Amino acid sequence: MKKILAIDAVGCLVDIKGNINKSISKILKKIDNKKIVLTNADDKEKKIFLKNISYESFSLKHKPNKTNPKYYKKFLTKYKLQPNEIIYIEHDIRAVKSARLNGILTHHFDGNIKNIKNFLNSFLNKKQNFPKKKELNFHYYPHHPVVIGASNGKKVNFMPCVWNSGMSYEPFLYGVSVRKERYTNQILKKSRFFSINFLDFKDVNLIRSLGRSSGKLINKTKEFKIGYSNGYFSNVPILSKAYLSFECKKKFTKTYGTHTLFVGKVELIHTDNKISNKSILDISKVSPTLYLGADHYVSLNKKTLKNLKKIPFHKSYSARNIKLIT
C-alpha cells in the first residue's frame, strides 16, 4: 500500500486568501500518492481557504484544532489508517508536535521548498521498516570477507568473516566480529594470536565452503585440502593462497548482541610479491572478493577504477600534509 500524503492547508498549500502555493502544488502534481488536506476550517472558512483546492480535505471545524492530539486520532480513525501509513507536511510547530504524538511522521514546513523535496524523496520514494528479530538485511553490503585463522594448539581452524574492519593506524589494529555460536569464537577467546587472510575472487568457493561448515565437527584443513603454514608467532596459521595476511596479537574482546568483536594488533604483514610494490591494492593483479549476502559474491570491475588524487582538498580539510599514496 502506498503511503498517503497529508498536507496542511493554510500556511502550506494555500495562503489566508486561498491562493495556491505554486511551488508546493508543482511538487504534489508529480506525486501519484493519494493526498488529503488537513485543516481546522469550518464551512465558512472552507469557502475561502479551500476554494482552489481539488484534493479531499478533512476538518473537525475547530473542535478540536490540529494542535490537539485528539484531532489526529479522529483523522486516523475515520480513514482507518495506521500512523505508519501516512506522512504529513505542516507549518504550525504545535500541530507538528501534536501529530508526532500520534506516531505520524511529520515534516515542519518553515518555508524551505527544498527541504520538502528532500523529505518526500526520503519517505515516499523509499521504504521504511524497523529492524525485527531474526530478519536479516543485506542491502548495506557488499563487504569484503576475510578468513580468520586460529588454533587452539591441537586443531587449526579457518572461518570467513564479513564483519571486519581496520580500527586504527597507530597502533595498527584490525577487528573481526564473530557470532557467539561459532566454533572460531570459542578458539579466539582462548587464543593470544590469530591471523586475518585476504583471498582472491578465484578462491570464492573455498571462502564459501569455510563459512558453510563447522570446525567443531570437521577438520577443515583436511576436508578442504587447505594449504597453510605456521606464522612467525605461536599458533598463527597463515593461508598460502592469501594475497595479504595479518598476524595479530589479540588486544581487546567485547561482546555486542549476537557477536563478539575481537580486535588484534597487527604484528606482522605478509604481502604477495606481485602486489607489494604499491601501497594500494593493484586490482589489475588481484580481484578482491566482495560478499553481497545470502551466498552471493561479486568482485570489482577494473574499468570503474577512478583516481581522484589530483583533485585538491577542500580548504576546510585539516590534514594539510597528508601524503598521497601511489
CATH (domain of 72):
3.40.50.1000
| 119 and 225 fall within a common domain | no
| 119 and 167 fall within a common domain | no
The pLDDT score that the predictor gives to residue 221 is: 96
The pLDDT score that the predictor gives to residue 127 is: 83
| 259 and 217 fall within a common domain | yes
| 28 and 94 fall within a common domain | yes
| 85 and 158 fall within a common domain | no
Task: Give a yes or no: residue 133 inside a domain.
Answer: no
C-alpha to C-alpha distance for 81 and 18, rounded to whole angstroms: 28
Helix or strand holding residue 46 (H, E): helix 43-49
Task: Give a yes or no: residue 137 inside a domain.
Answer: no
Alpha helices in 106-203 (DSSP H): 113-123, 183-190
C-alpha to C-alpha distance for 251 and 58, rounded to whole angstroms: 62
| 117 and 168 fall within a common domain | no
What CATH number corresponds to the domain at position 209? Answer: 2.30.110.10
* Contact of 66 with 98, CB cutoff 8 Å: yes
Per-residue pLDDT of the chain in tens (326 residues, 90 and over written 9): 789 999 999 999 999 999 999 999 999 999 999 999 999 999 999 999 999 999 999 999 999 999 999 999 999 999 999 999 999 999 999 999 999 999 999 999 999 999 999 999 999 888 888 888 888 888 889 999 999 999 998 899 999 999 999 999 999 999 999 999 999 999 999 999 999 999 999 999 999 999 999 999 999 999 999 999 999 998 899 999 999 999 999 999 999 999 999 999 999 999 998 887 777 898 989 999 999 999 999 999 989 999 888 888 888 887 656 565 55
| 113 and 200 fall within a common domain | no
Give the global pTM: 0.84
Task: Give a yes or no: residue 224 inside a domain.
Answer: yes
* C-alpha closest to that of 214 among 185, 234, 193, 189: 185
Distances (CA, A) of 124 to 3, 83, 87, 218, 300: 7, 14, 8, 50, 32
Q: Give the number of other CB atoms < 10 A from CB of residue 228.
A: 20
| 110 and 232 fall within a common domain | no
Which residue shows C-alpha cell 484544532? Answer: 65
Task: Give a yes or no: residue 317 inside a domain.
Answer: no
C-alpha to C-alpha distance for 155 and 152, rounded to whole angstroms: 6
Chain centroid offset of residue 323 CA: 30
The pLDDT score that the predictor gives to residue 323 is: 60
* C-alpha closest to that of 108 among 127, 94, 121: 94
The pLDDT score that the predictor gives to residue 300 is: 93
Domain containing 240: what range?
Answer: 146-302
Task: Give a yes or no: residue 39 inside a domain.
Answer: yes
| 213 and 103 fall within a common domain | no
* C-alpha closest to that of 56 among 24, 34, 27: 34
| 70 and 154 fall within a common domain | no
* Contact of 218 with 224, CB cutoff 8 Å: no
C-alpha to C-alpha distance for 4 and 64, rounded to whole angstroms: 22
* Contact of 7 with 25, CB cutoff 8 Å: no
| 46 and 192 fall within a common domain | no
Task: Give a yes or no: residue 310 inside a domain.
Answer: no
| 105 and 191 fall within a common domain | no
Largest CA distance in the chain: 87
Number of domains the chain contains: 2
